[in-house]
Every structure is written in structure tokens, then in C-alpha cells.
Amino acid sequence: MLTSFSLLHSPALPFCAFMTDDPEAIVNYAADGAGTKYGSALVTLVEIRGGAARALGAQMAVRGDGGYCGYVSGGCTEAAVAAEAIAAINKGIDRYLRLGEGSQFFDIILPCGGGITLAVHVVKDVKPLRQILSALQRRKRIALRYDPGTQTISAVKSQEKVAGVWSGPSFLRSYRPNLRLVLCGRGIELATTSRVALASEFEVLSFDQTSRDFDTGAIDQDTAVALLYHDLDQELPWLKAGLRAKPFYIGALGSQRTHERRCAALLAIGFTRAQTDRIKAPIGMFGPTRDANALALSVVADVAQAYSVHQP
């Protein structure tokens, strides 16, 4: 029989606060939770044995009241992971959690058949998390260093090409700003591609033929530029800005013959062949397309794929 004391001190039941894969949202949830009476933990995928649904560095944020967000697997283990993180928060001690292959939890089997190890860090110092969030708001790359020996975290300069990696005794989790897509065009192609990109949680800056003011400083290494004009004269100013700012992706609408004329125009005003070779044309992952919906899917998929393999 449960006593009133045990009811008051029973662990909170895990519940999904909201579904997200956004690293910034996950870190923010952990940072905000650390400032409450419940406390919080940041759970990081630090080892994969065999196959896994998420890459190294995938994270969850868990609060002591049971709320959690983020994913370290395909959604099949998150509630169990949250329960273990809540126990760690209550004890105030970090812990490792092994799931799947090689795990003590025989009732938790990963569908991929592999195994994962998670580092559960009870957040005691929220300052590094705030530094991560501040850097991402300023569109700066940054990393979180986790030292299991001292159970501490610190914000450091990001120098890694992957999201998560061991560096000696510490684990580095690197963060990039949200993918920004600068869309330039007109009509239904521009409107539909903007809508699909926003649904994919890109940060979208959309400009039509009437747009005049644009800060080229908004184009950084985590930005893609997609030109959806059917007019070389209209797209030329955007091409010049994009080639000078060096985004990770530049794509332009049109046939191969159109692209030859585009490159000739750029070469005539001083750009080099190496620069024009950076332009993906015809734009998109598949094509040619004959309607706005197919074009939008093709462009957004192409940008997402390019970003997933992009290395600064």
C-alpha cells in the first residue's frame, strides 16, 4: 500500500512536451527547465553499436516534472530514456544508459537491431547552454563539450565536421544555425516553394521581382540561394550577390542552354569559371518538373541533401 509520503516523492511520469528534431529547441527546453524547481537533464547519443535511427550527437531534453522533447532513437525508447533521466535528476548525478545490443534492459529492443549508449547530464550550470543559444541566434557555429569525469559542460568553438564526436575523454556536440533559404522568383513557383520550405522548418527569406532592399550579409555559410526566375536579367543581381557571399548552395531555374547563357553573362562581368561551376542548374534534385508542387519538392529536397553533406 502506498503511503502519502511515497505518493509525494514518487518519480514523475514521462510525457512528450512537444515533438521536435530542432537542436536549438532541445537546448532551450533543457536550459529553461534547469531554472525551475524540477531541474533538467540533457541526454546525448554518444555511441552506436551496429545500426541506429539517429546520428551521434542526437539529443533529448528532459525535465524533472516528466516533460521531454527530442529524439535519440526512432521514437521507440524516448519515454524509457526520459524515465532514466528523471531518476538521474532526482539523484543529481550523471549516468550512462545502454540500450539495445549489450544493454541490461532486455525489454528495450531497438528495431534496427543495434545498440546505443546515452550520456545523461544533469544540468547544474545553465550558462553553457545559454551561450549555445546566444551563438545560434547570432548564426554562429558553436559546440558543447561534455566531460563525463567531472560531469560538466562548456561552450567551445566548433571545429568539427560532424554533429557529435569524442575528443579524448570529452564528447563534443557541434551546432549549426538553422538552414536559411533565400528564395528569389515570382508567381506560383515562389509561393509554393516558400510554403514547402517553411513546412520543412527552413528559415525562409522570400523575394519577388518587386523586391529592392536586401542585406547580402544575410547570406552566410549555412544559407542556400535558390533562383526561380525565368528571366536572366531579373536573376543576375541575386547571382552576383550569392557568388560573392559564398553560401553552401546556389541553384537556378532553366534549361542547360539557359545556363550556358547565364554563365557567359557572368564570365563577361568578371566572374571565374570556378565560381559559375558552383551554380546548380537546372535546379533541384529531380527534373525537369512541369508543375509548381513538383518543383518545390525538388528544390527543397536538393537543398536539404546539400546541407546534410556540407562541410565548411
The pLDDT tens digits of the residues spanning 138-149 come to 999 999 999 999
Neighbours of 187 (CB within 10 A): 13
**Lookup: cell for 41:** 537533464
Average confidence (pLDDT) over 38-45: 98
Beta-carbon contacts of residue 168 (< 8 Å; ≥ 6 apart):
none
Instruction: Break the chain into its structural domains and give their ranges.
Output: 15-175, 180-310
pTM over 0.85: yes
The pLDDT tens digits of the residues spanning 245-264 come to 989 999 999 888 999 999 99
Question: Which residue has cell 511515497?
Answer: 6
b/e map of 33-52 (b: 16 or more CB within 10 Å)? bbeeebbbbbbbbbbbbeeb
CATH topology of domain 180-310: Rossmann fold (3.40.50)
* Whether the Cβ atoms of residue 304 and residue 179 lie closer than 8 Å to each other: yes
Average confidence (pLDDT) over 47-51: 87
**Lookup: cell for 5:** 509520503
Query: How high is the mean pLDDT of the chain?
Result: 89
The pLDDT tens digits of the residues spanning 114-163 come to 789 999 999 999 999 999 999 999 999 999 999 999 999 999 998 767 88
Residue type, 107: D
Where are the extended beta strands (E) located within the chain?
A: 15-16, 40-49, 59-63, 67-70, 95-100, 115-122, 142-147, 152-156, 164-167, 170-175, 180-185, 203-207, 223-228, 249-252, 279-280
**Lookup: cell for 160:** 568539427
**Lookup: cell for 37:** 524547481
Question: Which residue has cell 553560401?
Answer: 247
How far are the Cα atoms of 2, 216, 220 from residue 177, in angstroms, in the given order?
48, 17, 10
Average confidence (pLDDT) over 187-210: 92
DSSP helix, strand, coil percent of the chain (3-state; round to 5): 35, 25, 40
